[in-house]
Structure 1
Amino acid sequence: MADDALRPNWTEHGAGWAAQDGIFDAIFAPVTDAIVTAADLSGAVLDVGCGTGTLLERAVDAGASAVGVDISPAMIDAATRRVPRASVAVADAQTADLRSLTANHAFDRIVSRFGVMFFADPVAAFTNIRRAATPDASMTFMCWQDGRINPIFTLGTRTLIAALDEKPSRPAPGSPGPVAFADPGHLRGILADSGWSNTTLDDFAFRADYSTPTSDGVDERLAVILATSTGQLVEEKVRTRLGENGWSDLLDRVRESLRDDRVDGVVAHDNHCWLVSARA
């Protein structure tokens, strides 16, 4: 299977993420708090890959003027409903005229929660974002470190992928995708080449806990797996072949694997990210 066979396609698969935004917000709450603290949300804020509006909501609650862009119409629809005080648009931050979203006003703060790793040309993208920033603007975002140390990419997912006739190969290092910026040297080079300075990368670790007061988190983790582009694409490829009974059996095997990996009776795992800050 080609390297990009399970690569996220947010235009097609964003609806799955939007449908489970409550779970994503819960497991990524430490990430959201870290970005908000580091970014000092004020003035005009641009959220790149804004998703369903988590950071936008925090920005407007802090008194900022917030604008969000995302390439997923489903995500933008959800953000519009969630944060009516923000301005949102379906747009690709690599190529869009971002200042046009604010009547040609520049942005004081640029933020992103796992939304900047998918650009086809990251240097062009970060250059375009910098052009929309004020001279003393700051940029703060979170991105994943190596997928091999982040169970969010493998926990339960391996059982699902095993049902594929042809297994996906590992993407080339630095290629667009969730772990495109795992190599800190590669990321520093991209930001330097696109005109950003004073770049810092801080190791940020957090625990994602899928449990609720009434659940051990197995079904919540399964919902997340099926919401991701990987889960949706596997379902597209194997559900018809397996039939409904076979698909149900496969999901039961995923649940069983998740139960086997519970920690203190709940589904939870540690994660490692880069908390990135830079200046225009």
Structure 2
Amino acid sequence: MGNAAKNVTRTEASHTFWSGQPDWGFSQFIPLARLACEPGFLRAGDGALIVRVEVGLGGAQPNRPPAKPSRPSLPAPAPEAPPAAPPRESVGGDLLALLERPGATSDVTLVAGGRSFPAHRAILAARSDFFARLFDSGMSDSSSREVALPDVDPDALVLLLRYMYGVVVEACAPAVLRPAAELADRLLLPAASASLQQRLVAATCPDRLLDDMAWAEARGYGTMLAALEPLYRRDAAKVPSEQVEALAERSPKLMARLHLLLLGRG
């Protein structure tokens, strides 16, 4: 990796594959929870996963223990990836192109977090009951060329604008999932909110499991909370004690319910 890389502290996972052996190729997947929780896997900001591959050709293979015979088994299913953006030659793709290059067609601008997002009233009203009611309300914002959305994460707004235009909740950085789910509720986009809650469940890990559960309870996300409870039963021994104490203080009722769950009485 070079001397410069030795001065950088980060988490790495490595494995050497040998052709012709049982583990040849990528036969296993790294759980999303591990990528999201351990530092060094996902790049801060956009959540990109950086993979470094070194390929060596020729030469003798170093000494290694003989490969153990493997028992035939079904391959592990791959984690469900967020859907990709719609193809350009589709209605969703064409609308996304209009969102990205609105030009003179834009008739309203959304403002959040100091950033401006040109958009189109007809599309916003058709896709979101929040905007439909706003534009029909007769209030000052209903006819304004600029609509301010205070306390809104701009990255969450970008994600949901692309959903409203392209009908797909695209992949995003883990840090955007919660504010995007909250904004989806505010904009009356239940399908997007449900999709984001499912991704939060898939991305959780013992280090933040109870915090996710407390957040879901506070938001009234019963389906998400129910999906997290089996994970707590499985990983309770790995949950940091300070999280248990924090939840007991923050939500004694939820902590009591989880205790009964571990006792088999939940």
TM range (shorter): under 0.3
The TM-score normalised by the length of structure 1 is: 0.25
Greater helix share, 1 or 2? Answer: 2
Report the structure number with the largest CA radius of gyration.
Answer: 2
Relative contact order (alpha carbons < 8 A, sep ≥ 6): 1 or 2 greater? 1
How high is the TM-score relative to the length of structure 2? 0.26
Higher strand fraction (1 or 2): 1
